[in-house]
Amino acid sequence: MKKFGLIGEKLGHSYSPLIHSKFGDYEYELCEAKEEELEALLKKEEYGGFNITIPYKKTVLKLCDEISDTARAIGSVNTIIRSEDGKLKGYNTDYDGFIYLLKAAKIDVKGMKCMVLGSGGASLTVQTVLADMGASEIVIISRKGENNYENINRHFDSEIIVNTTPVGMYPGNGRTPVNLDDFKNCRGVVDLIYNPNKTKLVLDAMAKSLPATGGLAMLVAQAKESSEFFQNKKIEDEEIENAIDEVRSETLNAILIGMPGAGKTLLGKEIADRMGREFVDIDDMIVEHEGMSIPEIFEKKGESYFRKVETEMLEQACVKTGLVIATGGGIVKKKLNYNIIKQNGVVIWIKRDLDKLETDGRPLSQSMPLDQMYEERKDAYSYWSDFFINNNEERE
């Protein structure tokens, strides 16, 4: 079997090799390339075909020998196949991928005023789908276009917002292209970014109880169709959901929260061992970073300094994927930590009866009654977590 590749400018964020490994038994490589290298790369015969991503989906049109009707109509190619006679044929599988995403997220664009952020190849595909699905108006916001971020207030009445820019994408996590507070009529948010799993834009929409989705389902659905071209065989649609589930379970961090001494570190290590994952303890990161024990940091620098370093360490750990992360008990004291944890995390609340909690080496647990601390924090532990584990059985 020939090998295949993903061509783009920067590819450190891509899950495509992982996803393609679910659809077939072929090699799939990341090929970072500069624009002037594209032509030579496409000619390399060891590759049976390619996916194309930011910023080359428009550029490669002129390098293909043939282009499918859909890709030509949209003006964007994300899949290229080398035929037996060496000719390169360009397709667009993002079109079906975006339709799949809208349906999966139950976001109906019919009759809606839609704002598309960004004007690259992915934006062209999104615009075509929105028009085909009956959007009443489609506004494109780009840095230099007629509608831009300076005069975006003209379109604060948009009902659906679709982000096709890389703003907020790994490693630039935590950024958002627009402030959702400005869009009072907003009825749905779609971010094509899939790493992180939930961008700031998506988390902001969820905080307002708006329907919102990241781009993983689109990525997987377009990859399935590309893989059908690569292998010249049909793959059933059920495979898309299976692959999404597998990618989520392999990439999301398992993040443990709960009272000091509840067993986050103990259980975190055990979970990581059993899953064959790397374990990270935020408290250990802080101690290493500061070169002091936690009681010493509290004593010499105070709690607010400790919290500042804790947030920095949390940010470093949570932009990564596939980890088991034990936090300190006070992580929920700072609202800012919520988005950091949620972007790539499944959050597990470790519960243990208060009279069983270890307080040694834990300055806050020694400075106030544990039932008072629990009262102050229990609603946050509950709201921040996706599920809980009872850790009352003796383990040692």
Ligand X SMILES: Nc1ncnc2c1ncn2[C@@H]1O[C@H](COP(=O)(O)OP(=O)(O)OP(=O)(O)O)[C@@H](O)[C@H]1O
125 phi, psi to nearest 5 deg: -65, -45
105 is in an annotated binding site: no
Alpha helices (H) in the chain, listed in sequence order: 16-23, 38-43, 69-74, 94-104, 121-132, 200-207, 216-231, 238-251, 264-275, 282-290, 294-301, 303-318, 336-342, 363-367, 370-384
Q: Catalytic site residue 57?
A: yes
Closer CB to ligand X, 226 or 391, in the complex: 391
| Class of residue 347 by CB neighbours under 10 A (exposed 0-12, middle 13-18, buried 19+) | buried
Least CB distance to ligand X at residue 265 (A): 3
283 is in an annotated binding site: yes
Least CB distance to ligand X at residue 34 (A): 47
- Residue 195 sits in the site that holds Mg ion (CB under 5 A): no
Active-site choice (10, 43, 57, 103): 57
The answer to whether 58 touches 75, Cβ cutoff 8 Å, is: yes
**CA 53 centroid distance within chain:** 16
- Going through 27-84 in order, the beta strands assigned E by DSSP cover 28-32, 47-52, 66-67, 79-82
Angle value at C-alpha 77, between 194 and 136, nearest 5 degrees: 70
327 is in an annotated binding site: no
Least CB distance to Mg ion at residue 187 (A): 42
Residues 6+ away with beta carbon under 8 Å from 218: 94, 97, 98, 100, 101, 192, 194
377 is in an annotated binding site: yes
Q: Of these partners, ligand SKM, Mg ion, ligand X, none, which one is at the site of residue 48 (CB under 5 to 8 Å by kind)?
A: none
Question: How many Å apart are CA 165 and CA 192, to the nearest integer?
Answer: 8
Q: Of these partners, ligand SKM, ligand X, Mg ion, none, which one is at the site of residue 394 (CB under 5 to 8 Å by kind)?
A: ligand X
List the x/- string, 234-273, binding to Mg ion by CB under 5 A: ------------------------------xx--------
- Residue 127 sits in the site that holds ligand X (CB under 6 A): no
354 is in an annotated binding site: no
DSSP 8-state code for residue 322:
S
List the x/- string, 326-355, binding to ligand X by CB under 6 A: x-xx--------------------------
**Which chain residues interact with ligand SKM by CB under 6 A?**
6, 14, 16, 51, 53, 78, 94, 219, 222, 226
Q: Of these partners, ligand SKM, Mg ion, ligand X, none, which one is at the site of residue 395 (CB under 5 to 8 Å by kind)?
A: ligand X
Instruction: Give the residues lining the site for ligand X (CB under 6 A).
Output: 258, 260-266, 283, 326, 328-329, 358, 362, 391, 393-396
Q: Which residues are catalytic?
A: 57
